[in-house]
Amino acid sequence: MQRVSGINELTAAVEAAKKDGLEVAFVPTMGALHEGHLSLIKEARRHAAFVVVSIFVNPLQFGAGEDFEKYPRAIEEDAEKLDGIGVSVLFTPTVNDLYRGNLNVSESAGHIGELYEGSARPDHFDGMLTVVARLFEAVKPNYAVFGAKDAQQVYLVKQLAAQKFTGIEIIVAPTIRESNGLALSSRNRYLSPADHKVAEHISAALRSAQQAASTPGGSPQSVLQAATTEMTKAPEAKLDYIALVDADTFEAVNDGFTGRAILLIAAVVGETRLIDNTEITF
C-alpha cells in the first residue's frame, strides 16, 4: 500500500494504474476505521483492482459546537488495518492541498439537504458534498463506495454524481452491525457501556418496524408506530426523528405508499448523535 498526501502524487499513481488497464474504486472515510469501513473496501475490490481509500476529517461538514476537534484520529492504527487487504493507495490530504486555500462550500444539497440530518446539522450536507466533489476531482475513480448507514448522504452523493460526475458509479454497501444490532460507527467509541445498551434500542426499533411491515395490513403508519413504541422503551435516548421516506425521492411517504421506503432514526445517546436506517418495501 502506497501512502500519499499530495494530489499530484495521487494523480500519478491513479494515472499509472489506468494506463495499465486497471479500473479504480474509491472509498472515502474520515478514519477511525472499523469493520464497516473494511466491508466497503471489500466491496471496492469486487469492482476494481486498484483501490484508493481516503482518510480526511472534513472541517466543512462539522457545525459550530460539533465534534470536529474531538473526532477520533488514529492514522497509524488505521494504516495498519489497511495493510494487506488490497488497498493500493491510502490518500491523506491536508486541508490546504484538498481545498487549495479555498475552504468554502461549493456544493448545495438543496431542499433534501435541509431535512432530517440536515435539519439537526445545518450546512452539514453542503460541506459533505463539497469535500466529496473535491475528492472525486482528485481521485477520478470509476467507482466510489458508500455505506448504507448514512442513507441521506448516499441519496445526495448519487444526485451529485448524476449531475457532475457521470463517469463515477456510486456503489452502496450494506450496514455492518454488532451482534446486538448496533450499527458500527466511529462515534460508538464515545459511548459508555450504559449508553451502548441504550443505543441498542435504535436497531431494535428498526427490527420492530420490519416486523410490522411484514404482518398482514402492515402500513407506513404501523411501521412508524412500531419503531416509536420501541424507542419509548429507551427514554434515555433523546429521539431526534423517526421518519419514513421514499427511497427514490427522500420525501416522506404517506399511507397507501407502495415501493421502496427507508425508515430513518436519529437519536442522541449520552453526548453522541447516532443514526441508523432500514429499507422497507411496501
Ligand X SMILES: Nc1ncnc2c1ncn2[C@@H]1O[C@H](COP(=O)(O)OP(=O)(O)OP(=O)(O)O)[C@@H](O)[C@H]1O
Ligand Y SMILES: CC(C)(CO)[C@@H](O)C(=O)[O-]
Interacting partner of 37 out of ligand X, ligand BAL, ligand Y, none (Cβ under 5 to 8 A depending on kind): ligand X
Among 41, 98, 131, 280, binds ligand Y (CB under 6 A): 131
Tell me which stretch binds ligand X (CB under 6 A): 31-39, 125-133, 200-208, 257-265: 31-39
How far apart (Å, rounded) are the C-alpha atoms in residues 201 and 179?
13
When the beta carbons of 156 and 204 are compared against ligand Y, the nearer one is: 156
Is residue 93 near ligand X by the rule CB under 6 A? Answer: no
Of the residues 78, 150, 195, 240, which one makes contact with ligand BAL according to CB under 6 A:
150
* Per-residue cell: 223: 411501521
Residue 151, SS3 per DSSP = helix
Annotation: binding site for beta-alanine: 61
Question: Which residue, 61 or 208, has its beta carbon nearer to ligand BAL?
Answer: 61
Residue linked to cell 464515545: 190
Nearer CB in complex with ligand BAL: 144/213: 144
Q: Is 47 in the active site?
A: no
> Interface with ligand Y includes 202 (CB under 6 A)?
no
How many residues in the shown chain lie near ligand BAL by CB under 6 A?
A: 3
29, containing H or E segment: strand 24-29
Which residue is it, cell 427490527? 207
Distance CA 24, CA 26 (A): 7
**CA–CA separation, 132 and 269 (whole Å):** 28
- Residue 199 CB, shortest distance to ligand BAL, in Å, is 15
Contact residues for 67 (Cβ-Cβ < 8 A; gap 6+): 187, 190
C-alpha cell at 72: 477520533
Query: Are 207 and 200 spatial neighbours (Cβ–Cβ below 8 Å)?
Result: no
Quote the cell numbers at residue 90. Answer: 491510502
> Residues annotated in the binding site, as ranges?
30-37, 61, 147-150, 153, 176, 184-187
Q: Does residue 188 interact with ligand Y by CB under 6 A?
A: no
Which range in 7-15, 131-139, 141-149, 204-212 contacts ligand X by CB under 6 A?
A: 141-149
Among the options 37, 111, 124, 196, which is catalytic?
37
Q: How many residues bind ligand X (CB under 6 A)?
A: 18
Query: Could you say which of 28, 93, 113, 141 contacts ligand Y (CB under 6 A)?
Result: 28
Closest C-alpha among 40, 281, 53 to residue 175: 40
> Which residue from 13, 17, 38, 39 is in contact with ligand X, where contact means CB under 6 A?
39
Q: Measured on CA atoms in the order 173, 177, 181, 183, is the torsion positive or negative?
A: negative
Q: Which residues are catalytic?
A: 37
